[in-house]
Amino acid sequence: MLNLLDIIETVNMIEQENLDIRTVTMGISLLDCADSDIDRSCEKIYKKIMGKAGNFVKTVNDIQCEYGVPIINKRISVTPIAMLVAVSGGDPVKYAEILQKCADDTGVDFIGGYSALVHKGYSAGDRELIESIPEALARTKNICSSVNIGSTKSGINMDAVKEMGVIIKRAAELTKDNNCIGPAKLVVLCNAPEDNPFMAGAFHGVGEPDCAIHVGVSGPGVVQSAIKKRPDGDVGEIAEIIKKTAFKITRMGQLIGTVASERLGIPFGIVDLSLAPTPAVGDSVARILEEMGLEQCGIHGTTAALAMLNDAVKKGGVTASSSVGGLSGAFIPVSEDAGMIEAAREGTLSIEKLEAMTAVCSVGLDMIVLPGKTPSEVISAIIADEAAIGMVNTKTTAVRVIPAIGKDVGEELEFGGLLGSGPVMNINISKSPKRFIDRGGRIPAPMQSLKN
Amino acid sequence: MRSVITIIGKDKVGITAKVSTICANRNVNIIDISQSVLKDVFVMVMLTEFENGSSIIPKLIADFKELSAQTGLDIRVINEDVFNSMHKI
């Protein structure tokens, strides 16, 4: 018989501490759907996605029921659509619409991959796709878009950085009657991973197999309550507790991923070791930092606490899975984390502090609401700063900011669901980076790229 | 397949009988039972075995939901593999 205390611990994790599998994501290659006729290309996409994922949601729901483990999202990631646009030409929004139909008919929560990879420069299809992003996001509900504008190996494409500032603003303007939801589904990346199961940055990289199952785990609440049991432990002890907890969480992710992969007959890809918060009480990364002893997330000490948390999560998780990938680390999306929302509302958490935090944890400036009047070149400059952190530190960084059209500091945007709600954060725009951004060109690859 | 059924809540007369009856009606074999009172909360854990998990478990969960509504007990059905993977190396 199993140990009674172990059983109670697991039940408590699921029941009280919001332990769940955040997402099971099926990556599907669409390279064999490319056709010189865009309508035929769309037909092939529909056929392929329905063929691979027609039974996906039902299978995952069955696993949830049989295993008694909550699985929150079912998602699909596809080949960056810019590659299909390169072959077919035509209006890229048609691809967004067929993907939306696939999302509706398979029942998945999101499809990611309305994407372009332009870290070294634009190739055929990239420009058209990027220009169409605002309209594609306004006309669809469950489609996510991403653009990779930099990498450690190639530097930062500053032309794309400049363009993305404009695209993000336009995406917000086109959806201003719907809480500016457009840019909440759009992320600008540096060093984008090809097997990421999390949105909005998920796409199915060209080096991936035809189809793969990835799993993203969660569990900030579990880590928080584990730390709570050791109020006087030193930081080394806290790191040990986090490692043990991350190990357990990841083992559950590995189990569910393996079962899903077997039942769907699709190879298992990776477990993403991320601590992904939700706006629900008891599911916050900020609260973990506060449990460690910070009065509020965002004060001095936050970066150090987060660095330790992020490292311990990886150390605990990496031995628990056969294959780790994706973003793997603690997420700090402001609008999706009850503790972050509170800290931002009270002015304790600033964009500058968040930027420092992104140097030591997963992803980047995520789900941050900016004043609607923020000029596009400032958004571009935010992207450039964040990409520079990723490029130099050989890590993934990302920017997902939402200009709240017609709103200013003190007001809020309500996205609902997992995306939560976010206060408009203060941003320094008294001096302009316009001349720097207007230069365009490419920041050359850093010394870190010369590893051969 | 094997699942662990956990029953947590206030101790009452007949809990074991009610849960066992539901299991028997659904042709679920109880392999082991252990129970304890932890911090004033009654905890019972049953290791069970049955065929056709995918069709039985939804019905079992529905039955337990009804029992939960009547008694205020929290009842969960979790696959044994979840515990094995989380707590055993």
Helix, strand or coil, per DSSP, at residue A190: strand
CA-nearest of B4, B88, B42 to A14 is: B4
> Are A65 and B84 inside 8 Å of each other by CB?
no
pLDDT reading at A1 higher than 70: no
Contacts 24+ apart (CB under 8 A), A42-50: A42/A94, A42/A95, A42/A98, A45/A78, A45/A84, A45/A95, A45/A98, A45/A99, A45/A102, A46/A98, A46/A101, A46/A102, A49/A76, A49/A78, A49/A99, A49/A102, A49/A106, A50/A102, A50/A105, A50/A106
Residues in chain A: 452
Pseudo-torsion of CA A260, A263, A265, A269, nearest 10°?
Answer: 10
Lowest-confidence pick of A13-17, A123-127, A279-283, B35-39: B35-39
Interface membership of B30 toward A (CB under 8 Å): no
For A175-205, the pLDDT digits (tens) are 999 999 999 999 999 999 999 999 999 999 9
Greatest Cα pair distance, chain B, in angstroms, is: 39
Q: Can you give the pLDDT at residue A325?
A: 92
For B40-82, the pLDDT digits (tens) are 788 899 999 999 888 899 999 999 999 999 989 999 999 999 9
* Domains detected in chain B: 2-87 (3.30.70.260)
- Decide if domain A218-443 falls under CATH 3.40.50.720: no
Q: Can you give the pLDDT at residue A329?
A: 87
> Are A7 and B32 inside 8 Å of each other by CB?
no
pLDDT reading at A416 higher than 90: no
Residues in chain B closer than 8 A to A11 (CB atoms): 6, 8, 76, 78
The domain limits of chain A are 23-190, 218-443
pLDDT band at A417; cut points 50, 70, 90: confident
pLDDT reading at B4 higher than 70: yes
The mean per-residue pLDDT over the stretch A309-332 comes to: 93
Residues in chain B closer than 8 A to A9 (CB atoms): 87
pTM of the entire predicted model: 0.94
Displacement of CA B23 from its chain's centroid (Å): 9
Interface membership of A335 toward B (CB under 8 Å): no
Displacement of CA A107 from its chain's centroid (Å): 20
CB A352 within 8 A of CB A221: no
Q: Can you give the pLDDT at residue A281?
A: 85
CB A22 within 8 A of CB B55: no
Of the partner residues A1, A3, A69, the one whose CB lies closest to the CB of residue B82: A69
Helix, strand or coil, per DSSP, at residue B5: strand
> What distance in Å separates the CA atoms of residue A311 and residue A390, rounded to the nearest whole number?
17
For A197, other C-beta atoms within 10 Å of its C-beta total 32
Q: Can you give the pLDDT at residue A169?
A: 98
> What distance in Å separates the CA atoms of residue A109 and residue A73, rounded to the nearest whole number?
6
Percent with pLDDT over 90 in chain A: 92
Q: Per-residue b/e over B39-64, b at no fewer than 16 CB within 10 Å?
A: eeebbbbbbbebeebeebbeebbebb
pLDDT reading at A47 higher than 90: yes
Residues in chain A closer than 8 A to B76 (CB atoms): 11, 14-15, 68
> What distance in Å separates the CA atoms of residue A110 and residue A75, rounded to the nearest whole number?
5
Closest residue, chain A, to B33 (C-alpha): A1
Please provide the DSSP assignment of A59-77 as one string.
Answer: HHHHHHHHHT--EEEEEEE
Cα Rg, chain B, nearest whole Å: 13
* A23-190 and A218-443 have identical folds: yes
Q: Where are the alpha helices (DSSP H) in A186-284?
A: 220-228, 235-264
The mean per-residue pLDDT over the stretch A298-326 comes to: 95
Lowest-confidence pick of A155-159, A362-366, A372-376: A362-366
Q: At what angle do helices A126-139 and A158-174 cross, to 10 degrees?
A: 20
Tokens of A439: 């230069």
Query: SS3 for A281-339, per residue?
Result: CCCCHHHHHHHHCCCCCCCCCHHHHHHHHHHHHHHHHHCCCCCECCCCCECCCHHHCHH
Of the partner residues A4, A66, A251, the one whose CB lies closest to the CB of residue B85: A251
Interface membership of B75 toward A (CB under 8 Å): no
- Phi then psi for A265, rounded to 5 degrees? 65, 35
Residues in chain A closer than 8 A to B1 (CB atoms): 66
* DSSP summary character for residue A109: S
Percent with pLDDT over 70 in chain A: 100
Q: Can you give the pLDDT at residue A98?
A: 98
Name which CATH class applies to A23-190. alpha beta
Displacement of CA A195 from its chain's centroid (Å): 12
Q: Can you give the pLDDT at residue A3?
A: 85
The mean per-residue pLDDT over the stretch A237-243 comes to: 95
For A144-176, the pLDDT digits (tens) are 999 999 999 999 999 999 999 999 999 999 999
Q: Where are the alpha helices (DSSP H) in A140-234?
A: 158-174, 220-228
Average pLDDT of every residue of chain A: 95
CB A165 within 8 A of CB A123: no
User: Would residue A148 be called left, alpha or beta, if left means φ above 0 and alpha means ψ between -120 and 50 degrees?
Assistant: beta
pLDDT reading at B35 higher than 90: no
Residue with tokens 């199993």: A2
Interface membership of A447 toward B (CB under 8 Å): no
pLDDT reading at A68 higher than 70: yes
For A107-141, the pLDDT digits (tens) are 999 999 999 999 999 999 999 999 999 999 999 99
> What distance in Å separates the CA atoms of residue A13 and residue A18, rounded to the nearest whole number?
6
Interface membership of A41 toward B (CB under 8 Å): no
